[in-house]
């Protein structure tokens, strides 16, 4: 397998995992008032994280094992950075690092969960512009 083929394969694997997370978040939201909102938000964050990692792989940029979206975004060339505010980056990151575990924090509302999925979808759309069509199934 050629190096470029290997890079595309790994980037595609990240993108497919990201899509699975977004599907899980979107489907779980359909539960309405019974939605486990922390789970939806976790999967929304994971979608963004994995799409960022797919792009970093595609660009040949090494990254540490992290859930910190700000750290991952900082590795990207400025023109390829998604338009996630610093506040949005921190909020989504908290869904993978804080609200995923028991703790002393306010429960995530259904509206916050919907907003997290909206951010994930928007970020996905922006990142996919920089990935080859072969990288994702949608």
Structural domain spans, the chain: 3-135
Question: Measured between alpha carbons, how far is 31 from 61 in angstroms, rounded to an integer?
Answer: 38
Backbone torsion region of residue 32, taken as left when φ is above 0, otherwise alpha when ψ lies between -120 and 50, otherwise beta: left
Residue 1: its pLDDT value, please? 47
107: Cβ–Cβ under 8 A, 6 or more apart, which residues?
37, 38
- Distances in whole angstroms, Cα of residue 48 to Cα of each of 5, 27, 86, 105: 23, 17, 14, 23
77: Cβ–Cβ under 8 A, 6 or more apart, which residues?
59
Residue 127: its pLDDT value, please? 97
Residue 103: its pLDDT value, please? 86
What's the predicted TM-score (pTM) here?
Answer: 0.92
Q: Give 10-residue mean pLDDT values along the chain (138 residues).
A: 81 97 98 96 98 97 96 97 96 91 90 98 97 68
CATH of the domain spanning 3-135: 1.20.120.330
Residue 62: its pLDDT value, please? 96
């Amino acid at each position: 397998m050629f190096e470029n083929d290997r890079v595309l394969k790994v980037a595609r694997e990240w993108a497919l995992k990201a899509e699975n997370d977004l599907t899980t978040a979107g489907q779980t939201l359909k539960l309405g008032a019974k939605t486990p909102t922390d789970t939806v938000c976790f999967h929304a964050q994971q979608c963004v994280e994995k799409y960022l990692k797919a792009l970093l792989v595609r660009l040949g940029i090494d990254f540490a094992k992290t859930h910190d979206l700000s750290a991952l975004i900082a590795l990207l060339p400025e023109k390829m950075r998604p338009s996630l505010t610093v506040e949005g980056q921190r909020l989504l990151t908290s869904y993978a690092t804080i609200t995923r575990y028991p703790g002393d924090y306010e429960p995530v509302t259904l509206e916050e969960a919907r907003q997290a999925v909206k951010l994930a979808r928007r970020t996905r759309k922006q990142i996919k512009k920089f990935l080859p069509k072969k990288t994702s199934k949608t």
